[in-house]
Amino acid sequence: MDRDAIEEIEVALLLEAVFRRYGYDFRHYSKASIQRRVKHFMARSSVERIADVTARLLHDQEFFQRLIEDFSVPVTEMFRDPDVYAFLRREVVPFLRTYPFLKVWHAGCASGEEVYSLAILLKEEGLYDRTTIYATDFNEVVLDKARSGIYHIRDVKKYLDNYRRAGGTGSLHDYFDAHYDSVIMAKALKKNITFARHNLASDQVFGEMHLILCRNVLIYFDRSLQNRVLNLFDESLVRCGFLCLGKKETLRFSEVRDRFLEVSSTMQVYRKKCSDEDVLMLDKTASAGEKTLP
């Protein structure tokens, strides 16, 4: 048996150990992605064999927590892909405006920059005060950072440019306070956001959501886990609810593709199918600018 085949067995045993010992299920993550992360962790930890990682994490919880941090991929920024936020503002917000209250699920929220971006958008559109945002991730370390809302000031120039390109109607400076080398998101943005641990690989639905965002997460999953997660989103959305994925992600080859209408193939925004009467009512209400759906 060649080295690659042995390594594949070692990775499978490692993921099984993580699942059985700690309940985190990475067994259906992309093999290439997991192998890269395992090797990166081994280099940082001066461990030569994957089998040694497995043996140690079974008995050393602190060592396991370091591994989990490497398995998480918090690649994010405020108003990442500004054209997506501009599209949501222009094409999706009019429909969200038709509901008396809104529930939004931001799945795989990482360190929270994109959650606060959505909160700013909803605030500028007059919807934030009737919205509850559930922001979830499996990694408690990044969730703690998201809850704090504290980010390095070096990134602000990029955020300001993204905000402008996303169609921001005010000044981004109004939503944070600068303090030495950090910016702290305003408390007013946090009041309707609930940060919570949720593992897309094993946990259950968030019900009655009007909008779900899960951007640049599915690309790390294999096909079976992608289908599990997309079914989860389908079950969590209200009739005619919206789903926003990452630009490199699609419903096109998934189990749920026939349950959604494609709103934008470039922005990867979808609307859950509902009756013709529902669609007509939503379209008419959104066009008329009415505040609530009967």
Nearest to 120 by CA among 77, 74, 79, 178: 79
pTM, full prediction: 0.86
pLDDT exceeds cutoff 90 at 227: yes
Written as one letter, the residue type at 9 is I
Q: Which residues pair with 213 in a beta bridge?
A: 106, 244
For residue 289, what pLDDT band results from cuts at 50, 70 and 90? low
CA 34 vs CA 8, 18, 41, 115: distances in Å: 10, 13, 10, 26
pLDDT at residue 291, rounded to an integer: 44
| pLDDT per residue as tens digits for the range 91-134 | 999 999 999 999 999 999 999 999 999 999 999 999 999 999 99
Question: Regarding predicted confidence, which is higher, 201 or 292?
Answer: 201
Q: Where are the domains of the chain?
A: 3-71, 82-288
Angle at 113 between CA 169 and CA 175, to 5 degrees: 40
Would you state the structure tokens that stand for residue 173, as one six-digit string? 């400076």
Asked if 190 contacts 145 with a C-beta cutoff of 8 angstroms, the reply is no
Determine the CATH number of domain 82-288: 3.40.50.150
Please state, in angstroms and rounded to a whole number, the distance separating the CA atoms of residues 293 and 216: 32
Mean pLDDT of the chain: 91
Would you state the structure tokens that stand for residue 29, as one six-digit string? 């993550």
Tell me the chain's radius of gyration from C-alpha atoms.
20
Angle at 268 between CA 277 and CA 265, to 5 degrees: 80
User: What is the mean pLDDT of the segment spanning 34-54?
Assistant: 90
Beta strands in 122-253 (DSSP E): 131-137, 150-152, 176-179, 182-185, 193-197, 209-214, 237-245
- Three-state secondary-structure class, residue 270: strand
| pLDDT per residue as tens digits for the range 70-103 | 777 667 999 999 999 999 999 999 999 999 999 9
